[in-house]
Copies of this chain bind each other. A is one copy, B any other.
Amino acid sequence: MSTPSVAAEPRSEIEAANHRFMEAFGRGDAASVAQLYTSGAQLLPAHSDVVAGTSAIQSFWQGVMDMGIQEVILDTLELETHDETAYEVGRFTIKAVGGELADTGKYLVIWKRDGGSWKLHRDIWTTSQPAA
């Protein structure tokens, strides 16, 4: 295997983008969350078909907010950069209104450097909770 470049700069920029995700989600601003994705981005959520494009992504996250989810916490475990593409593995925690734990799990995101900013391009996650 080649040795991938893991420069400090993409890592800090991607972690900053994740912080903007968490902040926008926390204030219920689905439009700003959606702007963190590329225009051709796709979510691959469970119990759903692929969610493609800015408008559909905004609606998806608005729907999650409307279900009473108030906080998303993202924690990067692995980040590997190849030129203007990166993949990130992380853990998430989501909390409902009042701080109640709603879900925990892990995610895999493909990031693209797009117009000078790192943006989410492919986003998939799974719960680590037992099946209901």
Of A17-25, A58-66, A94-102, A119-127, which binds chain B?
A: A119-127
A11 at the interface (CB under 8 A from B): no
Given A110-B108, A112-B1, A113-B1, are A47 and B87 also a contact pair (CB < 8 Å)?
no
- Chain B min CB distance to A119 (Å): 9
| Cβ-neighbour of A48 out of B80, B83, B128 (below 8 A) | B128
Decide if A108 touches B44 in the complex (CB within 8 Å). Answer: yes
Q: Is the Cβ of A126 less than 8 Å from the Cβ of B128?
A: no
Within 8 A of B (CB), among A75-115: 80, 82-85, 87, 89, 105-108, 110, 112-114
Given contacts A2-B85, A126-B126, 5 further A-B contacts (CB under 8 A): A1-B38, A2-B84, A4-B85, A45-B126, A46-B126
